Structure 1
Amino acid sequence: MHISARTDYALRAMIELAAYGEEPLKCETIARAQAMPLNFLVNILNELKRAGLVHSQRGTEGGYWLARPARTISVGEIIRAIEGEIALVRGTPPQSVDYNARSRPLQDVWIAFRAAIREVLDETSLASLADGNLPDIVRRFSEGPQHWKS
């Protein structure tokens, strides 16, 4: 799985919004805080707005803010808003891939891979990223291979 700069920027912008609270946050402020190109960020925030994840308001009191509480927005939801479906095989969901008999077990690997990715991404909320209190599954995998089988 490849994480694009666009997805990375979207997640970092959403973390800034979650940490900031309910007040509108200027795009310039997010770009400066996260060291990202402003024009690129504007396009990303517009995609997130179309996906219903952020609201915006123009003007001197304007900016962007989360459309829902950060605890109800998952990393997976943000990635799907920017990139589309997660973990496709040749652009197809793994359960729809057609393999011959000898390669059939590969489909099971792709299905398990997709499920594992979804579990991590969908169990990790924006709030947990903003406050650094990551779910157990993330901590287990990030602590190293000695913890992966527990």
Structure 2
Amino acid sequence: MRISARTQYALGAILALAASDGPVPAERIAESQDIPRRFCDNILLQLRRAGLIHSQCGPDGGYWLARPPAEIALADVVRVTEGAEQATRPFPKAAAPLAELWARMRRQEDALLSEITLADVVASGGRPLQERL
């Protein structure tokens, strides 16, 4: 499984929101997660359009989760940033059995990322999520 920098940044940004108690300005998210500011703004816009976060302008504004952290799975964020899984080109002849293997691998990835929530990651306090693996 390959995870893009966009997805890594999006996961960092949304986890920063999951760990906060109120609206967080984009600047603070970008700084705390080492995300280039313009890139952070684009990611936050993408997450907002997907309905995962809300935003408010003004001195008391910022970004916050649209649902409790226990109701947002890592897979939700990955689907927003990576898009829908594209069909791979068919495997020819001797490699044909790999098609089912690839499909199983994708289902396993999705199942794992779907069962781990933002709340699980925040509660781990930086410890590995071994009980889920």
Counterpart code for 2:20: Y
Q: Deviations over 1:14-66 (max 9, x none)?
A: 11000003x11111111111122111100000000000000000010100000
1:99-126 CA distance string (max 9 Å, x none)? 4554331111011111111121111101
2:41 paired with 1:4: no
1:114–1:81 CA distance, 2 compared to 1 (3 A): same
Partner residue of 2:104 out of 92, 95, 112: 112
Listed as ranges, the matches of 1:31-42 within 5 Å are: 31-42=30-41
- 3-state DSSP class of the match of 1:71? helix
Q: Give the counterpart letter for 2:14 in structure 1.
A: M
Q: Which runs of 5+ in 2 are unaligned?
A: none
Give CA-to-partner distance per residue, 1:79-135, whole Å, 9 cap, x none. 10111124xxxx31x6xx644554331111011111111121111101111121736
Q: Are positions 1:136 and 2:128 aligned together? A: no
Q: Which residue of 2 aligns with 1:66?
A: 65
- The TM-score with structure 2 as length reference comes to 0.88
Letter in 2 for 1:35: D
Give the root-mean-square deviation of aligned CA atoms.
1.8
Task: Give the TM-score, by structure 1 length.
Answer: 0.79
Q: Distance in 1 between matches of 2:130 and 2:116?
A: 6
For the pair shown, which has the larger CA radius of gyration, 1 or 2? 1
Deviation at 1:136, TM superposition (A): 2.1
- Show the counterpart of 2:49: 50
Aligned positions of 1:74-113 closer than 5 A? 74-86=73-85, 91-92=86-87, 98-99=90-91, 102-113=94-105
